Amino acid sequence: MDPSSAGAGGNSLVSSGTDAQKRRVCYFYDPELGNYYYGQGHAMKPHRVRMTHALLAHYGLLGRMQVLRPLPARDRDLCRFHSDDYVAFLRTVTPETQFHQISSLRRFNVGEDCPVFDGLYSYCQTYAGASVGGAVKLNHGTHDIAINWSGGLHHAKKSEASGFCYVNDIVLAILELLKLHERVLYIDIDIHHGDGVEEAFYTTNRVMTVSFHKFGEYFPGTGDIRDIGYSEGKYYCLNVPLDDGIDDDSYQSIFKPIIGKVMEMFRPGAVVLQCGADSLSGDRLGCFNLSGKGHAECVKYMRSFNVPLLLLGGGGYTIRNVSRCWCYETGVALGQELDEKLPFNEYYGYFAPEYSLYVASSNMENKNTRKKLEEIKCEILDNLSKLQHAPSVQFEERIPETKLPEPDEDQEDPDERHDPDYDMVLDDHKPLEHSARRSLIQNIRVKREFTETETKDQHGKRLTTEHTGPEPMAEDLGSSKQAPEFTTVSSVQELQSIQAILDVETLV
């Protein structure tokens, strides 16, 4: 089918302008980022962000958007989601001293997939600072779209690294957006399930998470279609499980109808789109068959709603494809058609022999049958229809005062941090009026939703099985073949304190 016709209605919520209308775009980039190195043989290569930047420069796109160098996120910024002891560990551990901290390495799941490397903490501060900075820009209303290709590290947990991710810049950016917006939508098109973000917001109706991912014998093992949120968050979490070889038409046949309905029902004030490029055809760790244009169709579709949009990176391990994809998507954000022929650039050799901007799909088999995709779509749309009937109050304009927990003792000076701290552009923005109170919701118990026929034991077993599944292509990482421990949500009784701090008062 024609992807552009699938689930038409992307413009249905547009209050002004059209697709052709220009968007004000800001782009966060730190020239140091490409120098961080996970280690020999490791699949994650921050260099891909530098390659992307080179393409943007040679296509002349840097002059069409505000280019900002992020200021590093500080300890206290990271601690809005992450635990103090985990952040302190990331700050202090070094490649030389790590072996004196074996128990901490194990506890925080650092060492194999998530190695200790030179400058690790600065790396985290940089990519997190860029995502939060993007959220700040959107909150100020000076830009319609903010981009951080170094962000999107969706697997990081409150007190644990996972899947090449150390701090969860997405959760931090969403917390920033929640200062202004009552509801924030998170969409994840990385091939892997967006587990860290889902977990952080599993029990709230202020953040809806929607993840499209390969499911079944695949990292991280979570993202079952039956996982739909819990308590007030019930039905505010959607998981779209897909199989190998999905192509552009199949993908859009499910993406647009679902997201179109989500936009209609949830009516978010801002959208965060994680653009993990490991869902592209030919990815070193992936098994989907999306072309660059098929991937970018998701960006184009989200842009058409004219809702503040934060575009983030994520996975992506065939780096010449990643850089071409994110360059193309930056063009989409700007509404700028780019010549297929790549301009000469310092990484030109990577793009031989075609030197084309487009990432092509292959002839691999598509294991997603129309029938199966239709069933998945119907089940998700059915869950969405229950939003109207969900027991929690829909779309309340503010969190009632009584629901707010007590302020944290390390309350920040509300005026201390404001926009200019997040970037190097000296402009005259007034700081946001931070009436937001910092406080902690401690000991929130998070439980997965049970089907009526499923016992706790069965459920726990299912999750345990999923979480201990092998990491596919682990051999590519050049690390130990032992599957990492996945300690998240492993038993209902142990699900404490893993969520984001929903401590922000809405600024309206």
Check the CA dihedral 277-281-284-287 and report its sign. Answer: positive
Sheet of 25-28: strand order equals: 66-68, 25-28, 145-148, 309-312, 270-274, 184-188, 207-214, 237-242
Least distance between Zn ion and beta carbon 199 (Å): 16
- 332, 337, 339, 344: CA torsion to nearest 10: -50
Would you say 317 is a known binding-site residue?
yes
Q: Does 229 bind Zn ion (CB under 5 A)?
A: no
Nearer to Zn ion, 268 or 315 (CB): 315
Smallest separation (angstroms) from Zn ion to the CB of 310:
18
Q: Which structure tokens are listed for 459?
A: 């459920």
Strand intervals (E) in 71-178: 145-148
How many whole angstroms separate alpha carbon 326 and alpha carbon 342?
A: 14
Residues 187-206 contacting Zn ion, CB under 5 A: 190, 192
Residue nearest to Zn ion (CB): 315
Q: Is 471 in the site for Zn ion (CB under 5 A)?
A: no
**Cβ of residue 317: shortest distance to Zn ion, in angstroms?**
8
188 has binding-site annotation: no
Q: Which of 276, 282, 292, 484 binds Zn ion (CB under 5 A)?
A: 276
Q: Which stretch binds Zn ion (CB under 5 A): 292-300, 309-317, 373-381, 406-414?
A: 309-317
213 binding Zn ion? (CB under 5 A): no
Measured from the CB atom, the residue of 45 and 192 that comes closer to Zn ion is 192
The Cα 440–Cα 407 span in angstroms is 7
Q: Binding residues for Zn ion, how many (CB under 5 A)?
A: 5
**DSSP-derived secondary structure letter, 115:** -
Cβ closest to Zn ion, residue 220 vs residue 257: 220
Chain center to CA of 495 = 22
**Does the annotation list 163 as a binding residue?**
yes
**Residue among 507, 503, 485, 505 at smallest CA distance from 444:** 503
Subset of 384-423 contacting Zn ion (CB under 5 A): none
Interface residue with Zn ion, options 257, 315, 331, 484 (CB under 5 A): 315
Work out whether 245 is an interface residue with Zn ion (CB under 5 A): no
The CA-to-CA distance between both ends of the chain, in Å, stands at 43
Measured from the CB of residue 197, what is the shortest distance to Zn ion in angstroms?
A: 13
Tell me which residue of 195, 112, 141 sits closest to 448, measured CA to CA.
195
Select from 38-46, 199-207, 231-239, 313-321 the region that touches Zn ion (CB under 5 A).
313-321
| Residue 192 annotated as lining a ligand binding site | yes
Question: Which one of the spans 69-77, 194-202, 273-281, 321-329 is the region binding Zn ion (CB under 5 A)?
Answer: 273-281
Our CB check for Zn ion shows the closer of 111 and 313 to be 313
In whole angstroms, how close is the CB of 154 to Zn ion at the nearest point?
A: 8
Instruction: List, as one string, the DSSP characters of 405-419.
Output: PPBPTTPPPTTT--G
CA dihedral 133, 180, 489, 44 (to 10 degrees): -20
**Number of helices and strands in the chain (H, E):** 12, 8
Give the H/E segment covering residue 36. Answer: none
Under the binding rule (CB under 5 A), the answer on residue 220 touching Zn ion is: no
Paired strand residues for 210 = 187, 238
Stretch of residues binding Zn ion (CB under 5 A), selected from 98-106, 183-191, 382-390, 469-477? 183-191
Q: Examine the residue annotation and report whether 155 is marked as an active-site residue of this protein.
A: yes
Residues within the interface to Zn ion (CB under 5 A):
190, 192, 276, 278, 315
Q: Which residue numbers are catalytic? A: 155
Binding site feature residues = 113, 163, 190, 192, 278, 317
| Binding site members for substrate | 113, 163, 317
